[in-house]
Amino acid sequence: VIMGDQTKEHVYDMLMKNFERVYSGDTDDFGDFYPSNRAPWGLYMHAAWFFGDQAWHYDGYKMFLDEITDKEKYPDVWIVPINAGLKYMQNPVDQAKLVELGKSDESPFGCQSIEDKTGVYDSTKNRCGNAQSCRFMVDEPADGISGERYMSICGYKANGERQNCPAEDHYPWLGEDNHCGGNTPCDDCSA
C-alpha cells in the first residue's frame, strides 16, 4: 500500500529504497549495518497496480527501471525472467564473463535466439504462436472446484488458422471428446 503523496516520484522513492537495501546493504533499528550479499531480488508487481486512475504507479515504476538499468550507476544489475535467474544460480559466472557472453544464448541471460527468432522462437517451426490465456467460470461442486480458472492454448491450430478460446461456460476436461474446446493442438504449446 502506498501512503502519502500519490506521485510517480513517491513510487520511485519507495522502490529505490528497497532496491538500495538489497544492492548496498542496510542499517537496522539499532544502527548496525548489514552488508548486502547481492542475492537476486524479485520485482513482483500485480498487473492491477497499473490499471485505473493510478497512471503514476506505472510512471514511477518506469522511472525506477530506467534508474537501475543505468549501466554507469549499476553496471552489475540485470533484469531477467525467473527461469534465467534460476539458470544463473545453478551455474554462476562473474560479471566480466556475463558481459563477454552478451546476448549469446550461452549466457544464462542470453536473448539472441529471441531477437533472431530462431530455435523455439522460430515461428515457421513453432506453429503454435504465442499462447493465449482462456478464462472460465467453473461451478463443479461434485469435483470441488468453483470460481475463475484459466488455461493457456496455442494461438494457432496446426494448419495455421487462428484459434479462439472455448466458450467461457464450458470448462475443458481431459477424457471428453472435445477436451480442448475444439482447439488443436492441445498440448504442444508448453512454452
| Paired strand residues for 104 | none
Residue 191 burial by Cβ neighbours in a 10 Å radius (0-12, 13-18, 19+): exposed
Read off φ and ψ for residue 14, nearest 5 degrees: -65, -45
Q: What is the model's pTM?
A: 0.59
Q: What is the dihedral of CA 17, 19, 23, 25, to 10 degrees?
A: 40
The count of C-alpha atoms lying within 13 angstroms of the C-alpha of 90, restricted to the half-sphere facing its C-beta, is 9
Q: Kind of pairing, strands 145-153 and 26-27?
A: unpaired
One digit per residue, the tens of pLDDT, for the chain of length 191 reads: 455 568 899 999 989 988 888 888 887 667 777 777 767 788 888 877 887 788 889 999 999 999 999 999 998 898 888 888 888 888 888 889 999 999 998 998 888 988 888 877 776 776 677 778 888 888 878 877 788 888 888 777 766 778 888 877 776 664 455 445 445 544 444 43
